[in-house]
Amino acid sequence: MVGDRKDSALYVRNKNSACRRSGIRSENFLFDEGVSQVRWGCWEVEWHGCGGSRGGGPSWLCLLLQDAIVQKVEQLNEDPDIDGILVQLPLPGTQLNAQQIIDRIRHDKDVDGLHPFNAGELAMRGRYPYLIPCTAKGILALLDEQHTPLRGKTAVIIGRSNLVGNPVSMLLQKRDATTILCHSKTVDLPRYVRQADVVVAACGQPYLVRGEWLKPGATVIDVGINFVRDVNDEFHGDANADGFKLVGDVNFLEAREVAGAVTPVPGGVGPMTIAMLLHNVVEAFKRRMDNRKKGVL
């Protein structure tokens, strides 16, 4: 993990707790995105985050941080006792290249399912990677548990990230749903949402989806994790000690009056994401054991 984003710190705490309960050993490597000192040759340089140094310093300082992360990834790639590696996203700043870092993770240890090899397998018709992005995998597991019909149904996904939107869209297509992938440039978003039998909101905008947008009886999956300052908010969620509350991308109180089913935030998709992460770690471990029996490194 890089930096101290509230949502990222929450995810990491929850993942660590789940690993402990499941008997999986987890290790954390925290890289400070704030004020840091780096020694390079005979020079010692101070910089303030990856937006640059004090006085508009050079971006190569941020590249040093990226290189340190890549070195740690490559070290873990070669560690035979490590079955899964993930980089907590999003990365802070504007100059860290998350995809370049993810590309360096061995695809068989990529328990987030974001390596181009795994993403390509997912995109191909008739193919499945054995490591699928955790949130997308969790959403499908949740829909299956509730016996939600997908074949021939219309699914609207709001958000096209590699972490959620794109993989959810591809998984739903593999179930013969008709998918509509919306994003920040979509014109008249409510018009598309009203068509949907299944709505997946994963755009990072608090309370974006209103109850009046929804088709009666629709299934609504709220992936949003947003920390908002509590100002006598009547919608949903309790404020923490810092005066912030955790809310989703859907107006929960409005949606539950219209939808057939809607996931809450917190307590909906988040636990499923963590469960699928643990499942991916176990799958990676089993693959390693199978390869060891076959004499494959």
What is the set of active-site residues? Answer: 15, 88, 112
**Contact at 8 Å (CB) between 152 and 176?**
yes
Peptide bond into 216 cis (omega under 30): no
